Every structure is written in structure tokens, then in C-alpha cells.
Chains A and B, each alone.
Chain A
């Protein structure tokens, strides 16, 4: 990663002729970017520092400096044991929704994107019209309608109410369709057919391998949006035992603020940190794919 970036930075430096006022401009650019970096990172720093404070320290020590005692591990232990260990359950729910939703998006969109790119079938044009129309409908605008229908079908308050809607993404279909159309050569498919391979086998052994980069991008985006999803589970579920982390944390937060009797601030903050860590780790390690995904999305 870093080597490609360095290379990119070097070619950048070469390709732009440097003017005379270079140093002053550089100082201004660096200063402005430092302010933005500070804006981005101060809340993250606040989270880390305050997740390590006791409830007492939260109220008595300044927000951006560590407290008098280091209570991070005590807080995390309390996060996992509070309320009979409900946090573990929420974590399991999040994992279940994220894994099934993400695998679902990847499988369903890869099949459909490839099928639409490489086959002609009756109704194909109509399907495209519907999918392109669906691209215009924002997912969050569908939450209330889906809730109204699902409550009629008695699907609310089941895991399927969260998983099924997160398995469909017109945008993922679109990305994979474009990629399959341009990158999977028809000659190769044709050769495999002549060799007697079945259509599904061709898909799983040849096409999937070629489409891997775009599928990884789709998986990343689905992973983050499922991990962070709040509106859908909020509207669909009312059983605390089915709640994902986002809903559970918000519940703790609400009771910490409103009731005030029991001081939950330390576990709300430490629980937030625990929720953020997996997704932040995923970001930092898989950055390369983010960039390529964003380019594909933006070029469309």
C-alpha cells in the first residue's frame, strides 16, 4: 500500500511544475490540512481517552486528558457483564446480520450482475428498467414502507426483517454488472462451453475469479453499512434479544441520560469503543479496495 502511495506521490510531485511561492503555499496547505485532521481525530481521541476513565473521572477531569486512573479494562469487563452479558448477545446479533446480509448481497448481486451482463433472456430489458429505477430510491426511504408490509406479513421482530432487506442492493448489482460486462471476456466463456462446462460451473470457476476485485468492494461497502445500520433494526425489532450493537448501545445511552440513577456512562463509552474497533481495523487493513471502490462508484 505505502509503496504505491509513495510512487503516486512522487509522480505527482514531478508532474506539477513548482512555482516560486512554493514554501508559503506548502505551509498554508499543511496548516489547513492539520486543522481538518484535528477536527477528524479529536472526537476519536476523546472516545479512546474517556473509555479509559471511571465514572468519577468522567465528571472531574478534563475531557481530552487521561483521568487519574486507567480503567479501560475494568470498563470493558463491565461492558461484557452488565445486564447479564447482554452485550455479547448484541455482538452476536450484529455478526449474524452482518455476515448473512453481506454474503447475501455478494452472492445475489454477483449472480445477477453476471447473468445480466452475459446472457440475453426474455424480460431482460424490463428488469433493467426496474433496477435502474430502484437505484433512484434511497434505501432509507424504503424502511417505513418495508416495515408496513412486513408487519402485515408478520415478519417484523424476526431476524429476517433485518437480513432480507440488507441482501438487496441495486448499487451492488450495478457495479458488478458494469465490471462483468467489461472484464469477463466472452471468448473465454465460449471456450469453456465448447469444453463442455456447465453454465454454473463456468460462473463459479471462471467468472467469479475475474470479478473478485469488484466483489470485494461490494463486500466492504455492505459490511460497513450493515455493521452501522440503525434505522432498519430500530424500526423492525422490538425484542431486546434480537437487537444489534447499534441499537443496544443507543438503549444504554438513553437510560444513562434519562434515568440518571444508575451511572452507565462509562460502559456506554467503552461499549462504543468496542463497537468501533472491528470496523476501524477493517478500514485500515483494506484501504486499497476502498479507493478502487470509490473510483468505480464515482466514475459511473
Chain B
């Protein structure tokens, strides 16, 4: 692949020298300007903010080096969110990825009647906006006119309330899973469909059974897709905001303003004189996400990356 690229690019490069080197810039300029405005500048400004401490009392802006970071790293409210999100990720992500893999393998097995129906149906929740997904589920969880009420009536005693302190995290995890299970399934299914057929034939000649085929051919072949899906899941979870923020309007007593690191950064950003600290929390949360996503990618790609 790379050799082809170099060969075909050679004439273009020569051309460039004659026509002036700046034509390319006209094409990338709008993107670059926007990137600077909505990505680089916010990051730079946030880092700048995080190094200062402003106080309305005494007025002015004081340069405090990394004092805000020191404060954040010992802030129990931030740790509360980090631990919650970490647990959420450690439990929900593997369950969802495994279920999505199982569904994709079932679709790919060719033994399912009406496979397109299953594929489209399970993918459909991804089309539902997060806001609406949360509302549907909170109503269904509800004891007023939800399914929990109906089920309680059915079994004759009151079932535990999913919107209580104890069950709120699994309740949220379930909403996330409902929204993204089909999306991950489709990623895996597309990757499975792209596996070259001769691999199956070779494995069949070697006498591999169905399970052997799955574990020795299919799963190793779609390792890249599994890594990408896991990275997306990890990023989505660690940046959790929409779902708990909407649930908070329904059950404010159960979901605190620092339920996730992102919610904490948000609520600080709207508190007077806390912009500096909000910036600090946002940076730490973003960095943690990048590091975790990077580790997942490194582990997932394993040997493949070495080539």
C-alpha cells in the first residue's frame, strides 16, 4: 500500500514545484482556522485559566502555577465522580462488547432466519437521541405509570426502585447499553463480513468446528474492530454527561452535581469565580480519558502495531 502511494504521488509533487507550493493551503485553510478556533484556542485558554486563581474579593488574577491541580487531585467530589465512572466502565463496557460480539456472530453465522430484521431492529435504538432514550427509560423505570409499576402489580409486591441511590448506576448503565449495543454489533458485523472467505475454507479443511472457527479465525480477524469499539465505549463512558444530567432533573436527590467529572466541570463553570477550577477539572478529566483510551488501543492492537 505505502509503495503504491509513493509512486503515484511522485508526479503531483513535481507539479507542485511549478505551480507554487501554496495551492494546498487554500484547501486546508478553512479547516485549519476552525480547528484553531474551536479546538486549539479552547485548549490553550483552558490551560491558561487552570494556572490562575481569581478572586472577586481581592480582585485580580493571581498566577498560582499548579495549585489548582493540587486542589483537584485531593478533591473528594472529583474522586467521587472518577470512581463512579471507573466502576461504570469496568462493568458495563465488557458486558456490552461481549453481547454485541455474540449478536454479530449470530448474524454472521448465516443460521438466523430474517437476519436483516434482527440487524435493523437491534441497531434502531442508536437512532434515538440520548435525551429521548433517558426519558423513555425513566418513565419505564417509574412507579407512577412505568413498567416497574406494571411488574409490581403483576408479582403482587413493590419491586425495588431503579431510580434509587443504590440502583441508579446500573439503571444508567442499562440506558447506555440499550443505546449502543446495536451500534457496536454493526461495527463487528461489518468487520466479520469483510473476512476473506478462503480463511474459512482453509480452517474447514483443517477440520475446525464452529467454535474453533470463532476463536481462531473470526475473533482474531476482527481484533481491530473490537479495539475501536472499546475505545469509543471508554471515551463515551468517561465523558458521561447527557444521561445523568437529564436524570438529575427527575431525581435531583439521587444524582449530585458532581456525579461524573464532566458534570462537575460543568457545574463549576457556572459558579462564580470557579472558572479556573472548572478549567482544571476539565483538563484532568480530558487527560484521564485520553490516557485510558490510549492504553486500551495499545493493548488491543498488541502485536499488530509492531509491523
**In the complex, which range does the number of interface residues on chain B fall in?**
35 or more
Residues of A within 8 A of B186 (CB): 290-291, 294
Number of A-B contacts defined by CB within 8 Å: 332
Residues of B within 8 A of A193 (CB): 15
A43 to B139, CA, bound (A): 10
Residues of B within 8 A of A58 (CB): 145
| B191 nearest CB across to chain A (Å) | 5
Contact A257 B12 (CB under 8 A): no
**In the complex, which range does the number of interface residues on chain A fall in?**
35 or more
Chain A interface helix/strand/loop/mixed: helix
Contact A250 B246 (CB under 8 A): yes
Interface residue stretch chosen among A77-85, A118-126, A211-219: A118-126
Contact B28 A254 (CB under 8 A): no
Question: A215-239 vs B: 1/0 string, CB under 8 Å?
Answer: 0000000001001101100110000
Chain B interface helix/strand/loop/mixed: helix
Contact A136 B293 (CB under 8 A): yes
Q: With A168-B34, A186-B9 in contact, is A144–B235 under 8 Å at CB?
A: no
| A219 nearest CB across to chain B (Å) | 15
Q: With A111-B30, A119-B12, A168-B38 in contact, is A268–B135 under 8 Å at CB?
A: yes
Contact B278 A148 (CB under 8 A): yes
Other A-B pairs beyond A9-B115, A15-B110, 10, CB < 8 Å: A15-B197, A36-B99, A36-B181, A120-B12, A121-B25, A145-B46, A148-B46, A224-B127, A297-B187, A298-B225
Which B residues are within 8 Å of any A CB, using their own CB?
A: 5, 8-9, 11-13, 15-16, 21-28, 30-32, 34-35, 37-43, 45-46, 49, 99, 102-103, 106-113, 115-118, 120-133, 135-137, 139-140, 144-147, 149-150, 178, 181-182, 186-187, 190-191, 193-194, 197, 200-201, 204, 209-210, 213, 224-225, 228-229, 235, 238-239, 241-242, 245-246, 249-250, 262, 265-266, 269, 275, 278-279, 282-283, 285-286, 289-290, 293-294
Closest 7 CB pairs of A and B: A115-B27, A119-B24, A12-B110, A112-B31, A121-B24, A254-B249, A141-B286
